[in-house]
Amino acid sequence: MRIWNERLPDVPLTLVAVSAAEAYEALRGPDADAGFVRLPVDRDDLSAIPLYTETTVVVIPKDHVMAAVEEVSAEDLADEIVLHPLDDVFDWETPPGRPAYERPATTADAIELVAAGIGLLVVPQSLARLHHRKDLTYRPVTGVPESRVALSWPQEETTDLVETFIGIVRGRTVNSTRGRSQTPPQPKTKRPTTGGAQRKPASGKTSARSGGKPSRGGSGAPKGAKRGKPRRRS
C-alpha cells in the first residue's frame, strides 16, 4: 500500500478482506482486480504467482502442556482432539489427532472451541494471528501440510495497473521496465498532486483494486484492493 501510494498517488488502492472460500469468486466477479489467495489456483481462468509458504501452527490454550515447548510434531498430536473446520485450508490425507464428534463450520468457530477446551486446531500462522485471543497461544508443527500463498488475477484482464501492482508485490523498483508507474503526464506548470485515500483492510484474504481502469484481485489468509472508479476486480 505504501509503495503504491508513493508511485501512483492519484490512483486509490482499496483493500478488501474476504474469506478463503470467497476469494476466487471475488476475482472472477466485479469485486476485486487482484488478490492474495492460497494455492492451488484454477489456471483455466486465473493467473497466479507463488509468493511464500506459511508456517503451520497448532492453536492451544495458554495453560496447555504444549505451551511449554517451542515446537511440536504431528505425532505429538496423536492423542489430542484436533478440530477440522469445514473451511479448513489444508488438503489433508489424514488429519492429525483424534477427530471431534462434529466438524465446526468455520475456523472462527473452531477457535472458540479451542478456548472452551474442546480440542486443538492446526492452521496456517496467519489465521492463528487473525483469530488471536488472550487465553490462547500457538506453536509451530512439523510433519503436517503447509499452505502456499500466491498473488492471483483474472487471465483476461492483465491491465497496466494490475501489471504495476504485480511489480510492486514482487519487489520491482520504479526504474525497472515492468515496474514503472502508469501515471498520466502532468502539465509542467502544475504542482504535484498528493496521494489518494485508502480503506482499512478486513481479514482473511485480500483483493486489490486501483483507480482508473481497475485491475482485479487475502484469505484467509490470507487481501485485495479496489481502484478509484472500479471496472472490475483487482
The CATH number of residue 75's host domain is 3.40.190.10
Cβ(137)–Cβ(67) under 8 Å? yes
* pLDDT by residue, tens only, the chain of 234 residues: 999 999 999 999 999 888 877 888 899 988 899 999 999 888 889 999 999 999 999 999 999 999 999 999 999 999 999 999 999 999 888 899 999 999 999 999 999 999 999 999 999 999 999 999 999 999 999 999 999 999 999 988 788 999 999 999 988 887 765 544 444 444 444 443 334 433 433 344 444 554 444 334 344 444 454 444 444 444
Q: Which domain holds residue 109?
A: 55-142
The answer to the question of residue 34 being in a domain is yes
Residue 61 placed within a domain:
yes
Q: How many residues does the chain have?
A: 234
Examine the domain organization and report whether 166 and 97 are in the same domain: no
Cell numbers 486489490 correspond to 208
pTM of the model: 0.69
Q: Is residue 132 part of a domain?
A: yes
Number of domains in the chain: 2
